[in-house]
Amino acid sequence: MVAYGAAISLKNMIEHILESSRLSLVLPSPQIIQSAYEAMCHLQKALLKLDDTGYNKMRTKVNALDDRIKEVVWEFEDLLESHLYDQILPQLESSGGVRDHLSFSIDLQSLRQSVDCFVERVAVMEAEYEVELVNMPEEEGEPVSSRIDCHRINSDMVGSSPSQIFKQVRDHLLEFQDEHVNWLLVTGMVGVGKTTLAKKVFDDPIIQRHFEFRAWVKVGRKCEFHETLRCILAQVDPNTHHQMSDNKKLVGVLEERWKDKKCLIVLDDVWEWDTQLMDNLRKENVRILLTSRIRIEESAVQEVILLNLEDCKKLLGEKVFGEEGFPPHLDELGKKIAYKCEGLPLVVVIVAELLSKQDKTIEYWTEVATKQHNSVFVDAYNQILEVLFPSYDYLPQYLKLFFLYLGAFPPYTDIVLPRLISLLSAEGFLEPNVNQTLLDFIVERLGMLNGYYHLVLFKLPVRSWFSLRECRVHSCLQHLCKKEASKIKFLHVLQSYDDVMKDQRRLCAHSHMLFAFEQVYDSISSDCSSTIRSFLCLGPYYKYPVPIHAMNFKLLKVLDAYPVRFYHIPLEILKLVCLRYLALTCNQDLPVSISNLFNLQFLIIKPHFYIKKRGVVSYMPEQIWDMQELQYIEVNGRDLPTPNSDATLDKLCSLHGVSAKSCSREVLKRIHNLQILSIEVELEPYNDDDDSSPLTRLDCTLEELHKLESFTYHVVNPEMKYEYLVPLSMFPSSLTTLHLFGLGCPWKHMNDIGLLLPNLKDLNLYQYAFRGLEWDIESRRFLNLKTLVIEDTDLVRLRAQHGSLPRLDLLSIRHCYKLQQLDWMCDPSIDTTHTIELVECNPLLVASAKQLSPESMFTVYWYSSFWDEKSKQRLLTG
C-alpha cells in the first residue's frame, strides 16, 4: 500500500543526488547508488501488478508484504540521507554558506556494501511479492438466500433532492427505449443512500405494476456470472435455480420465463463490469439498475449526492426523536451536530443511534456539537470503517498515498489547492506522467478520486461568485485516512498530548497549543525526530510562538509552520539542509544563513504585521541567489536584490509579494523562466507631489519574461487624485491571466491591452483598477478571453461591440453600484451561451442584463443582500 510511494520517494532523492552540481559524492563512483535507483524502478513495475488483480482477491498477505518492503526502503533512505546530512552541515557552517561543490569523506566501500545489501533484499522481497500476487485467495461468496434478501433494507428517504433523484431514476427505467443500453448506474459515495434509493424504486407501486418480474441481487466485490444468474432465477422461478449448474441452461430458462414480459433486475453494490453478464441480460424487455461506489462504466449514470443541511437535520431529528423531530431546547444543537455529519445518511443514522442511548441534556449535546474529536463521532466512524476500508484498499497504487495525505488537513474545511500542490511537490512521493505538470497531475487525480471513486469532494475553482469551490475529504473518510496513515507510519495527526508517535514519517497538528505540552515535545524528540520528513501545522493562525523548531528534525524536508508566529527565524531551522519547503510567519529579515538551505524549493515567509519605514526598501539577502533549487518565493515586503555576480535562479517559476524594485532589468534576466509574478505597491502617503503612475515604477518592461503566464499588480490603498496611463509595453504577449488592483487607469487603455495580449483568458479588475463612466469594448478585442471580473468601479455604462469577447464564458460584475446599462452585441454566428453574474449591483443593471436573456445566448444570475428574503431564494434565475 505504501511501498510504491516509498520507492518513488527514494528514486527521486537518488536522482537529485546524481543530478546535483553541488554534491560531488557521486562523482567518483555514480554507479554505487545508480543500482539502488534501478532497483526502485523495477520495484515500481512489480508493485503496479497488484492493480491488475480483481476486486474479489483478498489482499491481507500482499498488504503485509508491502508494509515490509516499505520499511526496507525507508531504512535505506534514512541511511543515505543521514550520510549526506552529517557531512553537509559541518562544511556549510565552516565555510559560512553554500559552496559550489561539497566534498565528502564517506567510506565508499561501506556505502557500496549498504547499497548492494539493500538491492539484494529488495530483489528477494519483490520475487516473494509476485508469488503472493499469483496466490491471492478469492473472497468467499455469500449464499443465494442472503444475496437476494432485500426485505430488511430501509427505503425511507428524506429531502427534496433525494426524492427528485428517485423520480428521475424511476422515470428513466420506465421510459427506456434503447435495447442495446438497457441499464442505469446509480453511483455515489459509500453510505450516501444508493441502496436505499434502489430499494425505494424496487418497491414503488408504479414499478411493480410495470414490471411483471423483479429480481434483487447483492453482487459485492465477488461478481460471478453463474451465481448472479442463479440469484435472478431464484426470484423468477424459485423451483429450478438450485438444479441448474450450466450457464447456458440458466440463460435459456431465464429467457423462457421472461419472454414477452417486462423484467427489472437490481444489481446492488457492483464493483466491476461483467461483460458476459451484461451481454446475456441485454434483452429488449429487461431493465437493469446497478448501484456502485465507483463509476464502473461510461453510460447512463445517476449520482446520489449528499443531503443538504436542512434534510440532514430532519433525518437526524426523526431518527432520535421520531416524527416530531428535535425539541425546541435541542434544535440549534441538533443543527450543529447535523452539520458535522456533512450530509452522509450513513453517518447520520449511526450518530442518531449513539445519541439515542445517551441522556438528552444540553450539556452532553453541546459537547457533541462543539468538540472536534467527540466520542460519538469517533465511535460512529469506527463502526463504518469496515465498510469504508475497501474503497481505499482497492485504489490504484498511485492514488493511495495521495489520498491518505489529504487526511492531514482539518475536517469541515476546504483544502487550499495551491498550498496542496506546493506541499506535494516538495514531499516527493508522487510521480507525474511524462509531459504532465504536477498541477495537471494533482487536478487529474483529485478528479478521479471525486468522479470515479467518490472519495473526495472536489470541484475545480472557477471565478464565478456563485460556484461551489471545494476540495476536501468527508470527515468519516478523513478518519479512515488518519487511522490508516498512522498505522503504516506514513503520517500522524496529533490529537492529544499522549499520542503514540513512534517512527512516524510525518506529523501534522490542527491545534498548535499541543506543542506547549512538555510531554508532546519530549515524545516527538525521542520517538520520531530522526525519521520525520514533514511537519505540518495546518490549524488556524496562532499568534504566539510554540517550540516546534527545537526537536532535532535533522532529515526534515517539509516544514509548514505558516499559521504559527515566530519572533525570529530559529537557527535550528537554518540547519535543516534537507529542507525543501519552508513556510512560517515572522517579521524578522531573512538571515544570510538562509542559503544553508540549498535544497529549498519553496520559501514562504509572511509578516505578522506590516511595518514600513519611510524611505527604506527591504531586501532579501544577496545569498538568496545561491539557492539554485528555488521554484517558489513568497516573502512579503522583501525584494529580490540585484546580485553582484552572474548568478541566476533558473528553476524559479513563481514570485509573490515583492514590489516593482524586484523587476529591474538586471533581476528579471536572471529569473527568465518565471511563469507567475505578483507585485504589491504601496503608495507613499507623504509623497503628495508624485503624480506618476504606479506602473511607471518598473524600470523596464516585463518582456524579459517570455514564459510569464500570470501577472498580478496590486496597488495597496490607491489614491485616485490622478489619471494614470498603462505602459502597454510592460505586458508580455505570453500572458494568459491578468489581475489588476487600484491603478485608476482610463478604460480606453483596456482596449489596447485586449488587442496586445492575444493569449489572455482570465482578466480580473478590482478596486478601481480602471475608472471612467463608460467602457466601450471595441471589436476584435479580447479574442480568447473566457472570464472577465469587474469589481468596485465607477462605471455607468458597459458596451461590448460585435466581434469583441467572442469566447467569453463568464462576465462577473460585483459591487459596481453606479453601473446601470449593459449592452452586448453578440455575433449570432457564434454558438456560445454567456453567463452574466451581478453581485450587489444597481437594480437598473439587473433589468438591463435580463433584457439580454430572451436571445438565449445569455444566462443571468444576480444577488443583493438588500433584497427581501423571498427574492434571495431566486439567486440563480436566468
pLDDT grade, residue 376 (50/70/90)? very high
pLDDT at 347 over 90: yes
pLDDT at 104 over 70: no
Which three cell numbers, joined as nine digits, stand for 468? 461551489
Q: Which residue has the higher pLDDT, 89 or 582?
A: 582
Q: What is the pLDDT of residue 871?
A: 40
SS3 string, 372-428, reads: CCCHHHHHHHHHHHHHHHHHHHCCCHHHHHHHHHHCCCCCCCCCCHHHHHHHHHHHC
Q: Which residue has the higher pLDDT, 434 or 799?
A: 799
> Is the separation of the CB atoms in 569 and 591 below 8 Å?
yes
Quick one: average pLDDT of 308-326?
93
Question: What whole-number distance in Å separates Cα of residue 529 and Cα of residue 550?
Answer: 10
Q: What is the pLDDT of residue 867?
A: 60
Question: What whole-number distance in Å separates Cα of residue 172 and Cα of residue 433?
Answer: 39
Q: What is the pLDDT of residue 149?
A: 85
* Phi (first) and psi of residue 552, to 5 degrees: 60, 50
> Is the separation of the CB atoms in 591 and 624 below 8 Å?
no
pLDDT at 878 over 50: no
Place of cell 442518531: 352
* Phi (first) and psi of residue 353, to 5 degrees: -60, -45
Residue 777's DSSP bridge partners are: 800
Question: What whole-number distance in Å separates Cα of residue 521 and Cα of residue 515?
Answer: 6
Q: What is the pLDDT of residue 695?
A: 54
Quick one: average pLDDT of 427-442?
88
- Residue 230: which H helix or E strand, with range? helix 225-236
Range list of H helices, 659-747: 665-668
pLDDT at 657 over 50: yes
pLDDT at 240 over 80: no
Q: What is the pLDDT of residues 858-871, one digit of tens each?
A: 888 888 876 644 34
DSSP string, 765-800: EESSSEE-SEEEE-TT-STT--EEEEES---SEEEE
pLDDT at 27 over 50: no
Q: Give strand ranges (E) for 550-647.
A: 558-566, 581-586, 602-606, 632-635
Q: What is the pLDDT of residue 73?
A: 97
Lowest mean pLDDT segment, chosen from 102-111, 487-496, 831-840? 102-111
Any idea what DSSP says for residue 239? T
Which three cell numbers, joined as nine digits, stand for 213? 418480474
Quick one: average pLDDT of 242-249?
70
Lowest mean pLDDT segment, chosen from 376-385, 618-627, 692-701, 790-799? 692-701
Q: What is the pLDDT of residue 873?
A: 36
Q: What is the pLDDT of residue 30?
A: 66
Which three cell numbers, joined as nine digits, stand for 187? 453511483
Quick one: average pLDDT of 529-543?
90
Question: What whole-number distance in Å separates Cα of residue 66 and Cα of residue 43?
Answer: 11
Distances (CA, A) of 547 to 495, 514, 561, 672, 878: 17, 10, 11, 39, 55
pLDDT at 872 over 60: no
Radius of gyration of the chain measured on its C-alpha atoms: 31
Q: What is the pLDDT of residue 856?
A: 54
Q: Which of 114-118, 223-227, 277-281 has the highest mean pLDDT?
A: 114-118
Q: What is the pLDDT of residue 874?
A: 40
Q: What is the pLDDT of residue 215?
A: 93
Q: What is the pLDDT of residue 524?
A: 87
pLDDT grade, residue 765 (50/70/90)? very high
Percent pLDDT > 90 in the chain is 50
Quick one: average pLDDT of 310-324?
93
Percent composition of the chain: helix, strand, coil (DSSP 3-state, to 5): 40, 15, 45
Q: What is the pLDDT of residue 552?
A: 82
Quick one: average pLDDT of 613-641?
87
pLDDT grade, residue 704 (50/70/90)? confident
Which three cell numbers, joined as nine digits, stand for 723? 489619471
pLDDT at 235 over 70: yes
Question: What whole-number distance in Å separates Cα of residue 777 and Cα of residue 129?
Answer: 65
Percent pLDDT > 70 in the chain is 89
Q: What is the pLDDT of residue 32?
A: 82
Lowest mean pLDDT segment, chosen from 279-288, 656-665, 718-727? 718-727
Q: What is the pLDDT of residue 701?
A: 65
* Phi (first) and psi of residue 630, to 5 degrees: -60, 130
